[in-house]
Amino acid sequence: MNQFTDKRIDHKDLAVEAHGLVKVFGDNRAVDGVDLNVRAGSIYGVLGPNGAGKTTTIRMLATLLKADAGSAKIFGYDVAKDPQIVRQLIGVTGQYASVDESLSATENLVIFSRLLGLSRAESKRKAKELLEEFGLTEAAKRPLKHFSGGMRRRLDLAASLIAQPPLIFLDEPTTGLDPRTRNQMWDTIRRLVKEGSTVLLTTQYLQEADELADRIAVIDHGRVVAEGTVNDLKESVGTSSLHLSIQNEQSLSNARLIVERVLNVQSAVTAEGGKITAPMADADRVTDLLITLREAGIKLEELSVQKPTLDEVFLSITGQNAASHTPVKKEELA
Ligand SMILES: Nc1ncnc2c1ncn2[C@@H]1O[C@H](COP(=O)(O)OP(=O)(O)O)[C@@H](O)[C@H]1O
Ligand SMILES: [Mg+2]
């Protein structure tokens, strides 16, 4: 997949257009030639493990860090040549909300609104509205220094809603949040986009990218190792597979024959411990399989049908922890 040959991309519509970004720290190529195209009005997910280079990439795009090589444009403005203009077009979470730790959440939001040029009345109204939306009304009067991490994160995002810049960078917005708060964040992120912003978010959570992002770049060791829609990425891994284990290992070869016959495949694989794995095009066949196995007196220990998950995509692309996901071994054993 090469995003630069993707004909659907109209360069006028790009919120982010980065070519060959590089950042080197000592002898560590933290970002090693990253290309990114983010269409305006979309949610773009940059997915990668700790240390992959996500934050460093964002910092270069947000004019907070100078790239050692490559170039980046935000809505057509070069981050190196027009940093002032770029800064007016972007929001980076982490920079808001904590104007003053000893002031309350409301006071912080009001000050922030005033700094953005809202009237006193408008600022108060906005602060109240946002605190309600983020479930922070109870805590509104509390000084910020007594806020939990999750509350801070919510307040931070609330503050970015005041300015509502055209492009918002969210660097791991939900890392460490409880599920409820995370779902709230997701809703807010969707709302930001509905109201016209573009969001570039980084995440370590595949589920989050799956849930939110229109397109995803998988980044590993400073490089984009895959790019596309969630479906593109899932399809790149293949169809579902059936995993079953049987109670009595003596019936293994018989069970395998049944699996192959019922699923109409030649490539079922058996392994020690009574395990059978087979590709499966049609999940509905499981019923037939179960009936046939029972008729043959074969007792099951466990059965699962797995659609490729983003986890599998990620693992198969980055090769990390690939031992649990081994199409190669199938051929060896077959
Ligand atoms: N200011 C810095 N000085 C030296 N090394 C850094 C600095 N910032 C990041 N790194 C290194 O660059 C790599 C990428 O880091 P980072 O962009 O923070 O990754 P991520 O956000 O994906 O976890 C890591 O190896 C990290 O240790
Ligand atoms: Mg980071």
Give mean pLDDT in consecutive 10-residue pieces for the chain, a chain of 334 residues. Answer: 49 89 97 97 93 95 96 97 93 61 88 88 93 85 84 81 87 82 86 90 87 93 91 72 89 92 80 80 84 95 79 67 34 34
Contact 219, 46 (CB under 8 A): yes
pLDDT at res. 96? 47
Distance of CA 85 to the CA centre of its chain: 28
**Regarding beta strands 43-47 and 215-220, do their DSSP bridges make them parallel or antiparallel, or are they unpaired?**
parallel
| DSSP at 53 | S
Nearest CA to ligand 1 atom 17: 53
Which residue has its alpha carbon closest to ligand 1 atom 26? 51
Which of these CATH numbers, 3.40.50.2300, 3.40.50.300, 3.40.50.1370, 2.60.120.380, describes 11-235? Answer: 3.40.50.300
**pLDDT value, residue 201:** 94
CA–CA distances in Å: residue 284 to residues 263, 269, 280, 287, 290: 10, 20, 10, 6, 11
Q: How far is the CA of 208 from the centre of ligand 1 (A)?
A: 22
Beta strands in 75-166 (DSSP E): 77-78, 90-92
Q: Which fold has domain 239-306?
A: Alpha-Beta Plaits (3.30.70)
Q: What separation in Å is there between the alpha carbon of 204 and the centre of ligand 2?
A: 9
Residues with CB under 6 A from ligand 1: 25, 28, 30, 48, 50-56
Which ligand is closest to the CA of 30, given by its number? Answer: 1
The whole-number pLDDT of residue 73 equals 97
> 252-263 and 285-295 are packed helices; what angle lies between their axes, rounded to 10 degrees?
140
Ligand closest to the CA atom of residue 50:
1
For residue 58, the ligand 1 atom closest to its alpha carbon is: 17
How many degrees, rounded to 5, is the angle at CA 176 between CA 41 and CA 28?
80
Q: Give the ligand whose atoms come closest to the C-alpha of residue 219.
A: 1
Q: What is the pLDDT of residue 2?
A: 44
Q: pTM for this one?
A: 0.73
Q: Where in the chain is the domain with CATH 3.30.70.980?
A: 239-306
- List, by residue range, all CATH 3.40.50.300 domains of the chain: 11-235
If one residue of 24, 28, 56 were mutated to test the ligand 1 pocket, choosing by the most ligand atoms within 8 A of its CB, it would be 56
Question: Nearest 5 degrees, angle CA 284-CA 286-CA 292?
Answer: 130
| Whole-number pLDDT of residue 63 | 94
| Ligand 1 atom having least distance to the Cα of 222 | 14
> In whole angstroms, what is the distance from residue 154 CA to residue 143 CA?
15
Which of the listed residues 23, 24, 28, 58 should we mutate to test ligand 1's pocket, taking the one with most ligand atoms within 8 A of CB?
A: 28
